[in-house]
Amino acid sequence: MAEPTTGSTVPRRQLGRYLRGLRMDARLTLKAAASRLEWSEAKMWRIESGLTSMRSHDVLTMCTIYGAPADLTEALMGLAKETKARGWWHSYGDVIPEGFDVFIGLEGAASHLSVYQGQLIPGLLQTEDYARVIIRAHFPDKDEEEIERRVALRVARQTLITRVTAPPTLHVALDEGLLRRPIGGARIMAGQLAHLVEASELAHVVIRVVPCEAGLHQGVLSGSFFIMRFPLNGDGRASEPPTVYADGYTGDLYLDKPKEVERYEAAFGDIWNQSLDEEASRRLISEMAGSYEQG
């Protein structure tokens, strides 16, 4: 996988937004700024999009060209150092799909996750056995050692919802159909659904099932997605803009424009309103776990 995406995601994105704002205040186009810095436009775009870490010296050069005040320049140079901090997932770098480290960094920084899944149990709630079946099917050419590394990565991500300090609020809507899809067979599904019930009992986790009777709802049209919201700064503003993530068969999609996020928020609201309440959902999942156990 490509090296430029290593480092801490949130500081990269924050720094990119500040540098883009300074460039625009200086009335420089991306092309003009790239020319003055003797960089490619592609490099500039990656910096401003938060897709690459930065050296303090490069930030100083950019701030000088943009005419940024000394105190802001110093602060951004400090932020640049944070972009090189490696997340816990770095040790799994050999098995993280290109670009997915961006998602892991955002997921780990989020204070609230709204998740809709119509096909598979979300990775944060998968058992090892369930995850292993999916990963093996998705990477049929990989050997068992790499499969197990990928499973370990998925399990390591799950400490996010069990951590003692400030775990994120997790709202999950699952189509009833995916609970009835026997991934890996009856034994694995029984264990997976029992795990869902256990997770739903955590104070910060709410799992609801969208019944088949709901018919056509917005999730059928949108496909599966995550909405990530981030903690507030001391001034009451979000430390990061809300971001929508949708994983596709051939690539990932990140959306953070307000209108895009609003549309997905509306879709999630529709899905949530058409789902069973928390108790009814837990009861249904428990009953289905029992039916798998009985064979």
The predicted-structure confidence for 13-36, as pLDDT tens digits, reads as follows 878 888 999 999 999 999 999 999
CB atoms within 10 A of CB 91: 13
Nearest Cα residue to 241 out of 249, 229, 253, 233: 229
Residue position matching structure tokens 């997770």: 199
Note the pLDDT of residue 253. 78
Note the pLDDT of residue 3. 36
For residue 83, give both structure tokens: 């972009």
- Residue range 262-267: mean pLDDT, rounded: 96
Note the pLDDT of residue 97. 63
Which ranges of 38-185 would DSSP assign to H, the alpha helix? 41-48, 56-66, 70-83, 100-109, 128-138, 144-157, 159-162, 176-180
3-state helix, strand, coil in the chain (%, to 5): 55, 10, 30
- Residue range 150-166: mean pLDDT, rounded: 91
Query: Is 90 exceeded by the pLDDT of residue 5?
Result: no
CA dihedral defined by 38, 39, 44, 46, rounded to 10 degrees? -160
56-66 helix and 30-37 helix, angle to the nearest 10 degrees? 120
Note the pLDDT of residue 89. 53
How sure is the predictor about 92, in pLDDT bands with cuts at 50, 70 and 90? low
Does residue 151 contact residue 158 with C-beta atoms inside 8 Å? no
Q: Which of 84-93, 99-108, 114-123, 201-210 has the lowest mean pLDDT?
A: 84-93
